[in-house]
Chains A and B, each alone.
Chain A
Amino acid sequence: MADKYLVQPDVEFIKEIRGLGGDSLKKCFQCATCSVACPISPDTKPFPRKEMIAASWGLKDKLISSPDIWLCHNCGDCSTMCPRGAKPADVMSALRMRAIKEYATPKALAEAVNDPKKLPLLAAVPAIVFIVIGMVLQVFGINWLDFTPELDAHGQIAHAQFFSTWLVDLIFVPLSIWAVVIFALGLKRFIGDIHKNALAEGKTNKDKIEIKGFLNAIVKVVPNILKHRKFSECGENNDRATPHMMVLFAFIALAFVTGFFFFVLYGLGIHGPYSQFHPVKILANIAGIALVIGGALLFKQRLDKKDEMSTYKDWYLLWLVLGLGVTGMLSELTRLAGAAYLTYFIYFIHLMLVFHLIAFLPFSKLAHLVYRTVAMAYNEYSEREVKKA
Chain B
Amino acid sequence: MSKKYGVYICTGCGIGDALDIEAICDVVEEESLPCKTHEFLCSQAGVDMIKADVEEGTNALVIGACSRRVNYNTFKFEGCMVERVNLREQIVWSHPRSEFPKLTEEEKQDEDNFDRVQMMAEDYIRMGMARVEKVKLPEPYLLETMSKKILVIGGGVTGMNAAIDAAAAGYEVTIVEKSGKLGGHVANWRRQLPTKPPYERLIPNKAKSLIAAIEANSKISVRTNTVVARIAGQPGEFTVTLKTPGEKIEFDVPYPLPEEMRVDESGKELDHEALIAKYKEYNEGRRDILTLDPNGELFGAVILAAGWRPYEPKADEFQNLGWGNADVITNYQFEELAARGKVNRPSDGKPAKNVVFVQSPGNGTDSDFPFTGSVTSMVALKQAKYVRDDYPDGRAYIFYQHMRTPGLSEYFYKAMQQDSGIFMTKGEVTGVSQNGGGLTVDAANTLLGDQIQVNADLVVLGTGMVPVTFDDPTVNLAYRQGPGFRDNAIFDKYADSNFICFPYETQRTGIYAAGAVRRGLNVEESMEDATGAALKAIQCLESVNRGVAVHPRSGDMTFPDFFFQRCTQCKRCTDECPFGAIDDDEKGTPKPNPARCRRCGTCMGACPERIINFADYSIDSIGSQVKAIKVPSEDDYSEPPLRILGLVCENDAYPALDIIGWQQKKSFSADVRLIPVRCLGSVNVIWIKDALSQGMDGVFLLGCKHGDDYQCHFVKGSELAGIRMQKIGDALSSLALEEERVAQFEVAIDEYDKIPDIINKFVAEVEELGPNPFKGF
Residues of A with Cβ closer than 8 Å to B? 1-9, 11, 14-15, 18, 26-27, 29-30, 53-54, 56-59
Contacts and interface: CB of A to CB of B under 8 A. Distances in A.
Given A30-B447, A53-B448, A54-B448, A7 B453 contact: yes
Given A27-B417, A57-B448, A9 B453 contact: no
B418 A27 contact: yes
A6 B447 CA distance: 14
Contacts of A7: 448, 452-454
Contacts of B419: 26
The 8 closest A-B pairs by CB, nearest first: A14-B420, A4-B451, A6-B453, A4-B453, A26-B418, A5-B452, A53-B447, A5-B449
B761 interface: no
A56 B423 contact: yes
A29 B400 CA distance: 13
Nearest to B454: A7
Contacts of B426: 30
A11 B395 contact: yes
B592 interface: no
Given A5-B451, A6-B453, 8 more contacts: A2-B451, A9-B395, A11-B395, A18-B420, A27-B417, A30-B447, A57-B448, A59-B448
B665 interface: no
Nearest to A59: B448
Interface string B409-431: 00000100111110101100000
Contacts of B423: 9, 56-58
A1 B448 contact: no
Contacts of B417: 26-27, 29, 56
A58 B420 contact: yes
B82 to A, nearest CB: 54
A6 B448 contact: no
Contacts of B414: 27
B542 interface: no
Contacts of A5: 448-449, 451-453
B739 interface: no
Interface residues of B, number: 21
B420 A6 contact: no
21 contacts: A1-B451, A2-B451, A5-B451, A6-B453, A6-B455, A7-B454, A11-B420, A14-B420, A15-B420, A18-B420, A26-B417, A26-B419, A27-B414, A27-B417, A27-B418, A30-B426, A53-B425, A53-B447, A57-B423, A58-B420, A59-B448
A54 B447 CA distance: 9
A323 B393 CA distance: 42
B450 interface: yes
A147 B442 CA distance: 70
Contacts of A8: 455
Contacts of B442: 4
Contact of A11 (B421, B448, B451): B421
Interface string B424-468: 011000000000000000100001111111110000000000000
A262 B453 CA distance: 58
A3 B452 CA distance: 8
Contacts of B451: 1-5
Contacts of B452: 4-7
A227 B425 CA distance: 41
Contacts of B450: 1
Contacts of B449: 1, 5
A18 B418 CA distance: 11
A27 B420 CA distance: 11
A367 B556 CA distance: 81
A9 B453 CA distance: 11
Nearest to A62: B448
A14 to B, nearest CB: 4
A11 B393 contact: yes
A386 B478 CA distance: 77
Contacts of A29: 417
Nearest to A200: B449
Contacts of B395: 9, 11
Chain A CB within 10 Å, residue with most, of B393, B449, B450 = B449
Contacts of B455: 6, 8
A1 B446 CA distance: 14
B417, B423, B450 pick with most chain A CB within 10 angstroms: B423
A198 to B, nearest CB: 15
A26 B417 CA distance: 6
A57 to B, nearest CB: 5
Nearest to B449: A5
Contacts of B454: 6-7
A58 to B, nearest CB: 7
A120 to B, nearest CB: 30
A34 B425 CA distance: 18
Q: Which of B414, B421, B448, B450 has the most CB of A within 10 A?
A: B448
A213 B452 CA distance: 34
A371 to B, nearest CB: 25
Nearest to A14: B420
Contacts of B447: 30, 53
A56 B416 CA distance: 12
A50 to B, nearest CB: 9
**Residue with the highest number of chain B CB atoms closer than 10 Å, among A3, A6, A7, A26:** A7
A18 B454 CA distance: 23
A92 B272 CA distance: 80
Contacts of B453: 4-7
Contacts of A59: 448
A11 B417 CA distance: 13
